[in-house]
Amino acid sequence: MDILIYLATSGLVVATLLPFSRHSHWLVRGLDFPRLQLASLGAFLLLLQLIFLDLAEPDGWSIVAATVLCCAWQLWWILPYTRLWRVEVNASGDIEPNRQISILTANVLTPNHEVRKLMSLVEKHQPDVLVTLESDEWWENQLSGLEVSMPETIKCPQDNLYGMHVYSRLPLHEKEISFLVEDGVPSIHAILEMPDGTRVRVHFLHPAPPSPTENPKSAERDAELIIVARSVADSDQPIIVAGDLNDVAWSRTTRLFRKLSGLLDPRVGRGMFNTFHVDYPFLRWPLDHLFHSNHFTVRSIQRLPAIGSDHFPLFTRLSFTPANAPKQHGLNADDNDESFAAAVAAAKNADKTDVPEPGLG
């Protein structure tokens, strides 16, 4: 038993230390994902150590100390996404409908054909904007009925798991589809006009993940997030960035995105809202995101029921309350963050000027 405990503890230490390297290989970046699972494993190992190890020996306490430190480090990353943390975005008390906006994002999974489930959620929740990811021409045809009540559309059907569609009840201006870093991986950019006339700059993203079957490194995903973050950071417009970022909320990359952009995460202090994977409850992570400028407060955020995809949809309702802006603060980037971000973007020949800036033209 002692040998098994030593081996398992060594594995936990390695899994905890590897992400410090900032190496972009998918094996390293993938260890950003299971921080909750690693913390749970550490807690279980700690129990075994206290029961089976001879704590009269210095080695026993060394193993215990290493495990405690690993657990503490993993928890440091995930605790902001629990109710134990202070919220980053204030709850909205404004019930004026003309000052609210609701967005439903859904990675539909291209081979999934259970379109009725998604349509039912749209009928029930009546979002102002529906964003579908991994939607191809079949999905476009099946969702065409939405255009009666959601006539404003932006369509980019693809059969490579990176198609995107936007359906909106509200006017969309300066619509643009861009391929920021990789051919075949689109992003959508526009100005969304709220009922009270407020114009909101929106960016919908779905960068490719680091994985053995797609990009062996996270460089492409990271570069896309970085240049979008640096683009919106220069603006004082109301801004929303949403989509499947193929990254967890607590990773270094997403944290860097928040630092560079200055955008807020309404999940902080409210919960993880794990949207992937539907079929494996113990292996669920928050991959679908919505970030916004401090012009907004949150009315509600919820994970919706499964639609046959490997992702749950995410439904968020915000209130436009700019008077609250000085009361809400996100993360700040330091010089190391800026230099690292610049190096990542330069490595992929990507620049913030590549990102459309609707509303500024």
Tens digit of pLDDT for each residue in 252-306?
999 999 999 999 999 999 999 999 999 999 999 999 999 999 999 999 999 999 9
Is residue 338 over pLDDT 70? yes
Q: What is the overall mean pLDDT for the chain? A: 96
pLDDT of residue 24: 94
Average pLDDT over residues 216-242: 96
Amino acid at position 222, single letter: D
Q: How far apart are CA 204 and CA 190, in angstroms?
A: 9
Question: Which element (helix H / strand E) includes 178?
Answer: strand 172-178
Q: Which two tokens stand for residue 79?
A: 């605790």
Sheet architecture: strand order including 152-156: 152-156, 164-168, 129-133, 100-107, 314-320, 296-303
Secondary structure of residue 227 in the 3-state scheme: helix
At residue 361 the predicted structure's pLDDT band, cuts being 50, 70 and 90, is low
Cβ(278)–Cβ(310) under 8 Å? yes
Could you tell me the pTM of the whole model? 0.96
The CA-to-CA distance between both ends of the chain, in Å, stands at 67
Q: Which two tokens stand for residue 111?
A: 């081979």
Classify domain 97-354 at the CATH superfamily level. Answer: Endonuclease/exonuclease/phosphatase (3.60.10.10)
pLDDT of residue 109: 98
Residue, of 58 and 206, whose pLDDT is higher: 206
DSSP string, 270-316: T-----B-TT-TTS-B--EEEEE-TTEEEEEEEEPPP-SSSB--EEE
pLDDT of residue 58: 79
Q: How far apart are CA 254 and CA 341, in angstroms?
A: 12
pLDDT of residue 60: 85
Amino acid at position 40, single letter: S
Q: Which two tokens stand for residue 65?
A: 């100390």
Tens digit of pLDDT for each residue in 147-162?
999 999 999 999 999 9
Q: Which two tokens stand for residue 134?
A: 């991994």
**What is the domain partition of the chain in residue ranges?**
2-81, 97-354
**β-bridge pairing 239-244 and 199-205:** parallel
Secondary structure of residue 215 in the 3-state scheme: strand
